[in-house]
Amino acid sequence: MIERRALGSQGLEVSAQGLGCMGMSEFYGTTDEAESIATIHRALDRGVTFLDTADMYGVGANERLVGKAIAGRRDEVDLATKFGIERNPDGSWIGINGRPEYVKSACEASLQRLGVEVIDLYYQHRVDNTVPIEETVGAMSELVDEGKVRFLGLSEAGPETIRRAHAVHPISALQSEYSLWSREPEAEILPTVRELRIGFVPYSPLGRGFLTGSYRTAADFGEDDRRMAFPRFQEENLERNLCLADEVRSLASPLLIVGTSRPAADEFALRLAADRGATFGVSRAGFTELVAKLAVPALARTGLAPSAPLSDEAVAARVADVLLTRDKLEYFGPVADMPGFPRALARTLADLRMAGVSPDRLSGHAASADLSALLERAIEERRNAGAVDYATMLAAATDEITRAPHVFADRTVVLLDVAISSNADARFARALIAAAAFTIITIPTGDLRTRRALESGSTGPPTRPEAASALSRLQERLFASEQPVAGVSDDSVVLFSAPGEGREAVEIARRLLQEASRGVPFDEMAVLLRAPQTYLGVLEHALDRAGIPAWFHRGTRRPDPAGRALLALLACADEELSARRFAEYVSLAAGG
C-alpha cells in the first residue's frame, strides 16, 4: 500500500504518489477514455488516491473524465483541481484570470463537471499579475467557508506571492515542476514552503516522460504532442538531453526479481523494502510467470493458447488410448490402460519436449518406438487443437526476448535460486541474461546443473571453509558425487523412523513442539513430504491436534527429483531465513 503524507499543517493528507491526469485528455498525443479510466481505477486499487486535474485540461473534458472514473468511489479519492487559465470552448487561449468573481464561477463549473460536492485541494493554476493575490486568495477562502473546497493551493507562484497568499488564508500545497532536469524550485521555493510548513507537490517528476527513456527521437512524439514546443524536446537539444537521461537511468535501473516462484520473489522484495524503506522500481515474477507474460500474447497473435497440466494428462490419455486401440504399442501395451499411465506419460513427454528431443531421435531402447509414436501423436493433437505445451511457451518467450531485447535493456535482473532443469529453461535464461543491463544470479550450494547452464567463463566454484555443523555438511554435500569425509554428528540433523504414516505424522508434530520449546518460531520450521498424497491428510490432522499453526502452500506436491526441495529447507535453516522464502517447497508442506 502506498504511504500517505501530510500536505501543509491544516490536516490535508494524500497518497505519497499522485496521478496527474492532464495527458489523458490533451497535450501528450492521442487519448483513450476507456484506458484512462482503467488507469485511474488501477491507481486507486493500488492506493494512489491523489488525483490531479484542472479546468483547462481539454477545456473541461479532463474534469469530466475524472468525475466519471471516480463515480461511486469518491470516498477513496484525494481530489485536486485548478482554475486560473481561461480558454474558449474551441480550445483557444484567453489568458490568466484571478478575479474574485471568476474564482467563484470556475469552482462551480468544476464541481459540476467532476460530479462532486466538495474539492479537496483547489489550486490557482497560474498567478494573475493584474489582480492582487490577496483578492484571489480571499475569494478562494470564501469557498472554504461555504464548504465547496477543503484546502487551498497555488501553482508556479514565487516566494513573495506565496507569503502574501499564506497571510490571507493558510496555503496547504504549492505545485511546481520539479525533477532531475527542472530543479529551479531548490533555490528559493523549497526553503520558503519549508519555512511556512506548506506541502510541495512536484509535477512532471519524470521530466514529462523523458527521463523514463521511452522517447529517443523526435519521431517518438505524435504530431499533436505539445512537448515538441518545448526547446528541450526539439531536435537540436534532444540528443544532448538523451545523453544526460541515459546517465540518470544508468544510476537507477529498474530491478526485476525472478524467483523459482512468485512467492519467493515477493519475499525477497519485502526484505528489500524492509532494508531500504521502499521498493520503487522493483518488479518481480516467478520464472514460469515471466515465461507466460512474454509467450501468451505472442502465441495469441498466431491463434495459439497454452494448455494446462490437466490438459497435458488428457492429451497423454487420448494418444495412449488411440495407439493402444490400433495395436501400435508394444513395450507399453501391458500398462497403457492403467490409471496412472497418462500422468506418467504426460511427464515423460514433457521432459522430452523440454530437452528438445524430436520423435525421430528416439532410439536405442525397447520403449523408443512406442515413445516416438506417442510423442509424434501428442504433437499432432496439440497442433490440431491450437494448444501448446510449456516447452513451446519457453521457445516463444525466448523468441520474444530475442526479437525485442530493449524491453530488458535498462533492467537489472536477479535470478533468485532459479533451477535450470532443461535445455529449454537454459535457452530462455541465457536470452534474458543477454538482454538485461546487469544480471545477479544466486544458485544453491551444489546445484551444478544450473551453474553449468548459466555460467560463462567461470573458473569454478569458490573455495569454502569446511562446514561446521552436520546440517551445514549435509547442505554442502547434498549434490556431491564422491563419498564425503565422515564428520562428527550433532543434533542439527536427527534421523528417525516410526511404524506407519499416522505414527510418523505424530512424531513429526512432537518434534516440532520440541523445537518450539527451545524457542524456535513455527514460522522458521518446515516439513517436506516425499509422498504428499499419503501423508498430507494425516499430518494435517496431527498438527491440528497438537495445536500447531500450519500453512500448506500450493504447488508443493511434487518436489524436484534432484533434491532441490531438501536443499531449500537446509539452506532455510542454515541461513536462518524465513520458511516463506522457499515457499515453493516449504512451510509445513512440501516433499521429502
Residues 41/14, Cβ–Cβ less than 8 Å: no
How far, in Å, CA of 202 to CA of 193, rounded?
13
Residues 86/94, Cβ–Cβ less than 8 Å: yes
For the chain, the maximum distance between any two Cα atoms, rounded to a whole number of angstroms, is: 97
With a CB cutoff of 8 Å and minimum separation 6, the contacts of 94 are 86, 87, 88
Residues 418/257, Cβ–Cβ less than 8 Å: no
How far, in Å, CA of 520 to CA of 94, rounded?
72
How far, in Å, CA of 81 to CA of 543, rounded?
57
How far, in Å, CA of 373 to CA of 350, rounded?
14
With a CB cutoff of 8 Å and minimum separation 6, the contacts of 276 are none
Residues 231/237, Cβ–Cβ less than 8 Å: yes
Cell numbers that stand for 411 in this block: 533492467
Q: Is the dihedral of CA 216, 220, 225, 228 positive or negative?
A: positive
Residue type, 65: L
Nearest to 268 by CA among 401, 440, 394: 440
Residues 450/567, Cβ–Cβ less than 8 Å: no
Residue 57 among the catalytic residues: yes
Phi and psi, residue 199, nearest 5°: -70, 150
Q: Check 28, 57, 178, 215 and give the catalytic one.
A: 57
Residues 440/253, Cβ–Cβ less than 8 Å: no
User: Where in the sequence numbering do the catalytic residues fall?
Assistant: 57
